[in-house]
């Protein structure tokens, strides 16, 4: 059974949030998964991590950890200090994930995000990232965790923009734990094939799925082919997490990072935001588990 989740930043426009509160809110909306910021885990005390673990467990909620690495901890960097710091950071996150029973690290862990495009020497960037990810992948293998590398569109990365590039990267890394994340928003921009075909071809490489409409609004509010997407995921026997990334709010830190320049929430207050999320969960569940 596929599990339905949301990125935590649906509810606000700052990266700094109280995950324990958001666990309760996610549960209220009928979600199975809360996707938290992986970078936050290294700044949380063991007591805070334990509170999050227990809260999620008691609510029957699963947690996934979403990372956009900072520029000074980046495994594609030509600076050996930054590269090493990136490897160390990713391994430290994996260690923290174990403490909250979080099985999967997701995101474009192969470069910093948002990427600044100062260095676009793609082959050299990829070669350094592969070497770094081999070490991180070994650590994840040892801990029994999964890393789902996110394939991003051209405006967010110059390294991995398509499924084929993602598979090639994972094959070079060659670790059991290192797989892919496919996101309807990015696929809609970059892939030649229709989205269901890309998912089918992704097959066993697909370890995590992000969903949203073409403008990242909630599933069911735009023109994505949800019946066919659900069918494609069933065809590959996908039983992982399907996590929405609905970024609707302008301003704060999240708005500019995601390039949200108009209110996509329709002026929704907190109750309306929860109602819209609940509707999207029900919509998605009907499409995925048809």
Q: Which residues of the shown chain bind Mn ion in the complex (CB under 5 A)? A: 183, 210, 245
The nearer residue to Mn ion, 135 or 254, going by C-beta atoms, is 254
What's 217's DSSP letter?
P
Peptide bond into 114 cis (omega under 30): yes
At its nearest, how many Å lie between Mn ion and the CB of residue 152?
Answer: 8
**Taking CA 31 as the corner, what is the angle to CA 53 and CA 59, rounded to the nearest 5 degrees?**
35
The nearer residue to Mn ion, 9 or 135, going by C-beta atoms, is 9
Separation CA 184–CA 124 (nearest Å): 28
The nearer residue to Mn ion, 32 or 183, going by C-beta atoms, is 183
197 CB burial (10 A radius; 0-12, 13-18, 19+): middle
- The two beta strands, 206-211 and 33-37, are unpaired
What amino acid positions are annotated as catalytic residues? 150, 245
Separation CA 22–CA 35 (nearest Å): 10
Number of C-beta neighbours around residue 173 at 10 A:
23
What's 10's DSSP letter?
G
At its nearest, how many Å lie between Mn ion and the CB of residue 50?
Answer: 28
Strand partners for 35: 7, 64
At its nearest, how many Å lie between Mn ion and the CB of residue 104?
Answer: 13
DSSP 3-state of 137: helix
266 φ/ψ sector (left φ>0, alpha ψ -120 to 50, else beta): left
At its nearest, how many Å lie between Mn ion and the CB of residue 80?
Answer: 30
Hey, what are 209's tokens? 């799925």
At its nearest, how many Å lie between Mn ion and the CB of residue 243?
Answer: 8
The nearer residue to Mn ion, 74 or 183, going by C-beta atoms, is 183
The nearer residue to Mn ion, 40 or 183, going by C-beta atoms, is 183
Separation CA 17–CA 40 (nearest Å): 10
């Amino acid at each position: 059974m596929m599990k339905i989740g949301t990125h935590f930043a649906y509810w606000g426009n700052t990266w700094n949030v109280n995950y324990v509160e958001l666990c309760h809110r996610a549960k209220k909306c009928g979600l199975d998964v809360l996707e938290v910021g992986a970078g936050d885990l290294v700044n949380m005390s063991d007591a805070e991590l334990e509170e999050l673990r227990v809260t999620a467990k008691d609510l029957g909620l699963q947690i996934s950890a979403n990372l956009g690495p900072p520029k000074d901890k980046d495994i594609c960097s030509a600076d050996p200090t930054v590269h090493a710091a990136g490897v160390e950071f990713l391994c430290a996150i994996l260690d923290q994930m174990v403490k909250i029973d979080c099985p999967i690290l997701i995101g474009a862990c192969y470069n910093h995000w948002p990427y600044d495009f100062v260095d676009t020497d793609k082959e050299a960037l990829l070669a350094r990232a592969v070497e770094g990810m081999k070490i991180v992948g070994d650590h994840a293998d040892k801990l029994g965790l999964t890393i789902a590398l996110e394939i991003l569109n051209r405006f967010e990365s110059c390294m991995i923009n398509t499924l084929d590039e993602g598979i090639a990267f994972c094959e070079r890394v060659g670790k059991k734990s290192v797989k892919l994340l496919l996101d309807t928003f990015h696929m809609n921009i970059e892939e030649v094939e229709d989205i269901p075909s890309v998912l089918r071809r992704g097959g066993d490489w697909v370890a995590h799925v992000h969903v949203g409409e073409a403008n990242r609004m909630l599933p069911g509010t735009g023109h994505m082919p949800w019946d066919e997407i659900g069918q494609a995921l069933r065809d590959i026997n996908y039983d992982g997490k399907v996590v929405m990334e609905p970024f609707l709010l302008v301003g704060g830190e999240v708005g500019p990072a995601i390039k949200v320049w108009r209110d996509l929430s329709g002026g929704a207050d907190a109750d309306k935001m929860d109602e819209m999320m609940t509707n999207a969960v029900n919509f998605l569940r009907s499409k995925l588990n048809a």
